[in-house]
Amino acid sequence: MHISAVQFAAATDVDTNLEAIVRLVESAADAGAEMVVLPEAAMHDFGGADLALGPVAQSLDEPFVAALRDLAGRFTLWIVAGMFETSHDRDRPYNTLVAVGPDGDLAASYRKAHLYDSFGYKESDRLLAGEPKAVVLRAGGLSFGLMTCYDLRFPELARALVDAGADVIVVPAAWVRGPLKEDHWETLLRARAIENTAYVVAAAQNGSTYCGRSMVVDPMGVAVAALGDQEGIVTAELVADRISQVRTRNPSLGNRRL
């Protein structure tokens, strides 16, 4: 399967972001992508710490997801994207990933389990955490596990995804810039690939707040395709045989003692 990670800086306006998403998904389709991964909060950026996210949240049957479904059907590809989903708490929505199939159906959704209460920020003041669970979907002969940004720092979630059958870990993110933060991002992406002998596909926001550096990492921890800090698309081929070869050479999953 050919997969594209899309990197852009989301605005605090849904229509503006949808215009960018349509343009970038079309470019990814032209590059041969069968799946397009968009960043965390692609629907609407977090904005300043005082911006209420409840009023901008949408349910999974409202216009943002409907637009993704139309776009996926139009280009006959998969789309994974981050959004704010309404919850029972009107002030604090979920930070949700949606996965839409080439038939235009909503195939899966995942509510971010680990909120970014770290580095002087407190995401839980503005959002609700989802229940920790392994969300895996099947596409193009491979299985894809979903996680979001700060989830990357918790290796047990990545391992749960792989134990649930994931060949590929998909990581939409809005990874905040800061001292050593970019190094953490790249190191953790490679670590999750190496320890799980799985592909990792990371699509990040860029701009003044976020670090960008979207990439595709293979099961040996090699970044086979990557971006810097500019808007763009990175496309790579995911090969099932590569996973099998690496897991034969390095059977660490089978060698575990729990």
Alpha-carbon distance 209 to 94, whole Å?
21
CA 102 remoteness from chain centre: 18
Q: Which residues are catalytic?
A: 40, 112, 149
d(CA 158, CA 199): 11
3-state secondary structure of 37: strand
3-class secondary structure, 56: helix
Dist CA 147 CA 134 (whole Å) = 9
Helix (H) or strand (E) holding 96: strand 94-100
Give CA separation, 18 vs 23, 71, 88, in Å: 9, 10, 26
Burial of 186 (0-12, 13-18, 19+ CB in 10 A): middle
- Asked if 167 and 199 touch (Cβ cutoff 8 Å), the reply is yes
Secondary structure, 3-state, 184-250: HHHHHHHHHHHHHCCEEEEEECCCCCECCCCEEECCCCCEEEECCCCCEEEEEECCHHHHHHHHHHC
3-state helix, strand and coil shares in percent for the chain, rounded to the nearest 5: 30, 30, 45
